[in-house]
Chains A and B, each alone.
Chain A
Amino acid sequence: MSDFLKIQGLEARIDADGTPKEILKGIDLEIPKGEIHAIMGPNGSGKSTLSYVLSGREDYEVTGGSATFKGEDLLALEPEERAALGMFLAFQSPVELPGVNNANFLRTAVNAVRRARGEDELDAVAFLKAVRAETKRLSMSDEMLKRAVNVGFSGGEKKRNEVLQMRLLQPSFAILDETDSGLDIDALRIVADGVNSLRGPDFSALVITHHQRLLDYIVPDRVHVMAKGKIIYSGGPEVAKTLEKQGYTQFLEAAA
């Protein structure tokens, strides 16, 4: 197997008003280079927690197991080091940053990552050219670049802004946390196209979703079913269709 992304027995908990609450209870998952995997599961199964733990959010305490990315101990890295190494999280609820201009934010992020990867920084002109090409592809207006990050954006605009960041930062591994929620069918196509166009031997992704619909557009190599903090079933893209027709019950029963 590849050692691109390897998660073994990962356990994590969160402090819920003073009481620790176990959320991840032993996740085993490998995503090889160039593959797109999907995780589906009912609410509260720990999908978003997994995405936060992998990208380095501090609210979660890892209590067991390991995660390596490109051979490095992922859990020992700061969030910005993970980003520099090629990881990207598209947030389920993108964060609003009042007073932070979107274009400045994008350029700061792109140049921070380029610096960390030993590449030259983009000057204002080169950056503008790169960003214009991407906004056009995502059918975003230039006006969105002038506004504060995600402030006053519609749900769809926020998700497009996430995909815009992903395309500009050129990650080798992206986690898309319910990027399809709140999107109409046209926006869904545009977002999916943004992901598919990155697809190749050097791009992997973990797509977290409730609905099979997104997986019609981003066809995964593998689908994992997650429940109660564990992966209870893994299979090919057909698993998504089975889930859509029959629900989680049979998987939950089989796992019980």
Chain B
Amino acid sequence: MSIATTVQASLGLEAFVARSAGHGTALSAMGIPTRRVEEWRYTPLRAFADTVWAESPALSDAHAQTLLAGLPLPEAGSHVVFANGRKVEALSSLSDSISQSAVETAEPFEDRFSAVLNAALMQDGLSVRVPAGTDAGLLTLVSLTAGENISTHLRHQIVLEEGASLTLFDVNAGEGRYVTNPRFDIVVGKSARLTHVKLQQESLTAGHLAIVAASVDANGNYDSFTLNNGSELARHEVVATLTAAHAQVHVNGIQIVDGSRLNDLTSMIHHAAPDCGSRQTVKTVLSENGQGVFQGKILVDRIAQKTDGYQMNQALLLSEKAQINSKPELEIYADDVKCSHGATVGALDDEQLFYLRSRGIPEAEARDILVRAFLLDALDLVTDETLRALLQGSIRA
């Protein structure tokens, strides 16, 4: 590394630390990971290191409204809108069945950059609690960002008490070159169910480093689906712990990368109790110089007998220059478990393409049909029909 690069590399970090009001010690110690750090080998953060990221200025309600107008949003349910890291009260309304609660102490994740960065610069966020036995319906959380060389670091907390349920539609969008770094702390109580459907549709020059920390109690279910469909560089990271018997975690998703963009889905699922299940189906479509990353780790404790873990990662390469890096990891200490993982990489089938074209369907449309067919079984994992249709409509194939 040249001296010039070393000096530049510290710029971004110094700016972050300077903004952290004394909370940046861990960030300072960690630094911005280079590709030599295993977890970031396939997802280079060079752009973060080279830029001085400033605190985001407030966004006018009118500007926020303009950005909202272009988004695929459901009409029903509660809405909470954040713009440049601040809650927009005028555009937010919460159902009476959801109560606001203070942020509880969360796992520091000192080895996870997205968490450390968020801890240093933590802003406002959504803090909600769904009382026991309550179905709180649909909550749409929109995080908007607009500006140049700014960053936001929202911290959300969602607690579902025993038997509660909530569907969270987590929409991320904006314009300009910025970094968003949201963190979710999620607690799914006994027999509770959180459906977390995320649409990451940030500006195509933005960076997005999201981290979700979820813990799931007995018979609870954290059912998540992420459509990674924007940003120049985006990582959606899930760290989930199954803490008691028969808990379930689903980390499913679709990533669509074109241009020279990179989308990354990284997960760590910790089976800390017996009889739990985890499911991951991630499909990535890559064109031009697009890069996709899937890192999925399943950790099974000695106590976690009868664990049922499944992981499938499939990539469709539409160009010779596109690249997928897939890294499944199983770390198993129990002796009676069922864990499987699979990864496939392929191109569009020439025979299928010819069949469609021979029926008069132009090549571009035929390709689009086959790409959508490839994504279909992953998209079908979104159980909420309204949200599934909204995601389907926002796929740029």
Contacts and interface: CB of A to CB of B under 8 A. Distances in A.
Nearest to A100: B373
Contacts of B357: 56, 78-80, 83
B351 to A, nearest CB: 5
Nearest to B373: A99
Contact of B363 (A80, A94, A95): A80
Given A80-B363, A83-B359, A83-B360, 20 more contacts: A55-B358, A56-B357, A78-B357, A79-B354, A80-B360, A80-B362, A83-B358, A84-B360, A89-B358, A91-B355, A95-B352, A95-B355, A97-B373, A99-B374, A99-B377, A105-B359, A105-B369, A108-B365, A109-B360, A112-B359
A191 B370 CA distance: 28
A59 interface: yes
Contacts of B350: 58-59
The secondary structure that dominates the B interface is helix
Contacts of B341: none
Contacts of B352: 95, 97
Contacts of B363: 78, 80
B376 interface: yes
A99 B397 CA distance: 15
B306 interface: no
B376 A169 contact: no
Interface of A: 55-59, 78-80, 82-84, 88-89, 91, 94-95, 97-100, 105, 108-109, 112-113, 116, 148, 165, 169
A82 B369 CA distance: 20
Given A98-B373, A99-B372, A112 B354 contact: no
A59 B353 CA distance: 12
Contacts of B361: 80, 108-109, 112
Contacts of A78: 357, 363
Contacts of A116: 360
Contacts of B369: 97, 100, 105, 108
Contacts of B360: 80, 83-84, 109, 112-113, 116, 169
A80 B359 CA distance: 7
Of A80, A98, A116, chain B has the most CB atoms within 10 Å of the CB of A80
